[in-house]
Structure formats: C-alpha cells, structure tokens
Chains A and B, each alone.
Chain A
Amino acid sequence: MSALGILIARELRLAFRQGMDSMMAVVFFVIAVVLFPLGVGPEANLLARMASGVIWVAALLAAMLSMERLFQADHEDGSLELLILEPVALELVVVAKVVAHWLTTGLPLLVVSPLLAVFMNLEAAGLAALLLALALGTPTLSLIGAIGASLILGARRGGVLLALLVLPLFIPVLIFGVGAVDAALQGISARGPYLIMGGLLLGALALTPWAAAAALRQAAE
C-alpha cells in the first residue's frame, strides 16, 4: 500500500514540474466549450438546452487528449520495464497512475465546470447534478483511457489510435452523464443515471487494472 502512495506522489510531482501538460487538458476543455456560444449564437434558451451535452462532450475529449502520455514517457525512458520488474503488482501500478491522472486532469475539469455551466446558462438545479455526474464519470474516463493508453505503446500515430479505441467506450458515460443533468432540470429523480454511472465506475475499476497491466507487459517484451 505504501508503494502505491510513493508512486502517486512521484506522478503528482512529475505533473507539477511539467506544469503545462496537465493544464493543457483543462485549457482545451474551457476553449472547446467557449466555442459553442460563439458558433451557435448567444441565444440563452438554446445554450441552456445544449449545456450539459456540450460540457460532457468537451470533458470526454479533454480526458482523451491527456491520456496519450499516461504510460508513454515511462515506456520511452525505460522506467516502465523497471516498474514491471519491481515486486509490486503491475495492476496496482496502473491504479496509482490512474489516480494521479484523475487528480491532475479529472479534478481540474470538475473545478472549472461550474464556470462553464454559467457560461452556457445552465440552470442552478442542473449544476449540482452536473458536478455529481462529472465526479462519478471522470474517474471512469481515466480508467477506460488507461486501457487505451497502454495499448497504443509503441504504435505510430498513437493519439489517433487512442481516440478510435477509447471514444466508443466513453459513450455510456456520456449518455448517463447527460441523462442525470436532464433529469435534474426536469425536476425528476436522477437516481437511476447516478446508480448506473456508479456501476460503470466500479466495473471499470475492477477490469481496467488487469487489462492495462496485460497490455503493458506485452509492450515491454
């Protein structure tokens, strides 16, 4: 367990020293959402109707964008081989990487989303639902993305391949994430979508470490 903490601390330190890398996802998220009012026009009702969908799609793309480097730097400089060889289960290494990734990209997305919700004229009732849905959904995105990130190691044009692998798998998160906000806006209970998103999160948590670890071992051979 302490090895897990040590690895997370190292990942966070690397992310902070590298500043721009993790900021990029957030900046992309903000810019992508801001483009919509500029493109569609400042009609408040229209924006309010699109708000949850636009914010979610931008969050998916931002999460995917930041995923490519998750294992790549370690793969290139030889650290990945050493991490595989260390007497710590590779599955735990994957979990630590994902936790650090969520803290440096998922959490910042969550923090700036209220600002974007105001920008998109989302009603207050929807904002709480959006935050809760993002809190449940972004860790799932990080987990699913980790599988993609481990599969593209060694591939040329990995970024494009990652999008093709991962975006279809993000669809359930998108559907229920938007569903939760819509339910809250219509004043009906969003319990169903939350429960399904929680289920997706637990399912991804159970499967991702094994899938990604297998792909990492393959990449190191």
Chain B
Amino acid sequence: MAAFTGENLTCIRGDRLVFEGVDFAVESGGALVLTGPNGSGKSSLLRLMAGLGRPAVGRLAWDSVDVDDGDEEHGARHAYLGHADAVKPQLTVAENLDFWAAFRLGPVAAADAVRAALAALAIEHLAEVPGRYLSAGQRRRVNLARVIALRPRLWLLDEPTTALDRETVGRFEGVLDGARADGAMVVLSTHTDLAVAGAEVLELGA
C-alpha cells in the first residue's frame, strides 16, 4: 500500500501567491479530483506533484520519503499529462508513442505497451497517421495513450478530457478504473463531468 502525500503546500508563481496551506493524501487505488475556478492553481499543483518546480513551502512525500524536483525515482513511477500534447507532427502516432514508451520501458517492452494503449482507446487505425494530420481530440487521445503505455503507479492528469468525444471519455473512465483496481493512484483536474468512482475532491481557491 503506497501513499502519495502533500503537506502545507504553498505555490508562488512570479510574484503571485497561487495557493497556500494545501494538504492532500492519495493511496494505492485511490483518486483525487482537483476542482476550483480558473486560476485557482489546479495546474500548478499538478506540476508540483509531477516535479516541475518545487513548492515555496511544504513537502511532497511518497511513503513518507521526500520527493524533490528532478527526482528520478519519482519520475519513474508517475506519468504526467499537461496542456500540451507533445505529439511530433513529423512522426506517425505509433512512432510518437514508441519513443516515449521505449525511452522509459526499453525497446522490448515498448511494442506491447503501445499496442495495448492504442487498443485501450480504440485508435489502432491512427497508428500510421503522421501527427500533423491529427485533430485536437485525436492528439489528446494519443497523449492519453502515452500515459496508458507507461503503466504508471501515479497518474497526474491536467484536464485529461479536453477536446474528447463522449465515447472516448467513457473508454478512458474504464481505463482509469482498471488501473486503480491494479493499485495505481490518480490525481486529475477537470471541468467536465468525468466519472471517477469513490474519488476524494480537493477544492482549490475556496
């Protein structure tokens, strides 16, 4: 049973205080949904959790061991999905995904992981399509497939369902449930109605 926790987190960007005194805790199989108005710091909190920058005050810990930014052990257990989709226009969908999967899992494990991820979102037909021909929703699905292929223990998802159609959202909910049943934990921010069963809600900017 692993646990990812944050205590008394304060985030300052530029000269602006984004949030202060935020605590959270997620356990294996658990989910945390970040809500709050625009600019309340949902993305900033997810970036801190991922290790992009460090909190001005407070600490992040995995099983009570501190997590620093640039912490490779932490990098190996989470997968982060941000606003940008990181899809290279010159590469096909399969090549894009193969790179990220091979970069972390090694070339042997990558092929299977990518195939499974494409199947999970039903986008096998896009495998040979170059990134430049994808729509916004398709690019987002490729980025989600990247996260799925990495099989992380901690999913950090910033507005994962942006530009997705209803059917894909449903499929993705299924993927999240499956991952949590296998002991992964999920932290996500959302404005749309993504159904995450039994999730705790952290209200920012309240």
Which A residues contact B (CB, under 8 angstroms)?
Answer: 2-3, 6-7, 10, 13-14, 17-18, 73, 76-79, 81-82, 84-90, 217, 220-221
Query: Which residue of chain B has the shortest Cβ distance to A10 in the bound complex?
Result: B99
A89 and B72 in contact, given A77-B87, A79-B86 (Cβ under 8 angstroms): yes
B171 part of interface (Cβ distance < 8 Å): no
Q: Are A81 and B99 in contact (CB under 8 A)?
A: no
| Alpha-carbon separation in the docked complex, A73 to B87 (Å) | 11
Complex contact A84–B88 (CB within 8 A):
no
Interface residue ranges of B55-94 to A (CB < 8 Å): 69-70, 72-73, 75-76, 78, 80, 82-88, 90-91
B37 within 8 A of A: no
Min CB–CB distance B166 → chain A (angstroms): 25
Q: Footprint of A on B, CB under 8 Å? A: 50-53, 69-70, 72-73, 75-76, 78, 80, 82-88, 90-91, 95, 99-100, 102-104, 106-107
The answer to whether A18 touches B90, judged by C-beta atoms less than 8 angstroms apart, is yes
Given contacts A2-B106, A10-B99, A217-B70, contact A82 B80 (CB under 8 A): yes
Alpha-carbon gap, A217 to B82, bound state (A): 16
Question: Which single member of B52, B69, B84, B104 contacts A86 (CB below 8 Å)?
Answer: B104
- Residue contact A86 to B82, C-beta cutoff 8 Å: no
Which of A73, A84, A85 has the most chain B CB atoms closer than 10 A to its own CB? A85
Q: How far is the CB of B89 from chain A (nearest CB, A)?
A: 8
Instruction: Give min CB distance, B144 to chain A, whole Å.
Output: 13
CA distance A2 to B86 in the complex (A): 22
Q: How far is the CA of A89 from the CA of B76 in the complex (A)?
A: 12
With A3-B104, A78-B85, A84-B70 given, can you name 14 additional A-B contacts, CB distance below 8 Å? A2-B107, A10-B91, A13-B95, A17-B90, A76-B84, A77-B86, A77-B88, A78-B86, A85-B51, A87-B76, A87-B104, A88-B72, A220-B53, A221-B53
Please report the C-alpha to C-alpha distance between residue A85 and residue B103 in the assembled complex, in whole angstroms: 12
Inter-chain CA distance A82–B99, complex, in Å, is 12
Question: What's the least CB distance linking B44 to chain A, in Å?
Answer: 10
> If the complex has contacts A13-B91, A14-B88, are A85 and B107 also in contact, measured as CB distance less than 8 A?
no
Contact B75 A86 (CB under 8 A): yes
Q: Which residue of A lies closest to B51 (CB)?
A: A85
- A–B complex contacts, Cβ < 8 Å, 17 sampled: A2-B107, A3-B103, A6-B99, A17-B90, A73-B88, A79-B88, A81-B52, A81-B84, A82-B100, A84-B70, A85-B78, A86-B103, A87-B72, A88-B72, A89-B72, A90-B70, A221-B52
Which of A3, A86, A220 has the most CB atoms of chain B within a 10 A radius of its CB?
A86
Docked Cα-Cα span, A88 to B99, in Å, equals 13
Do residues B84 and A84 form an inter-chain contact, with CB atoms below 8 A? no
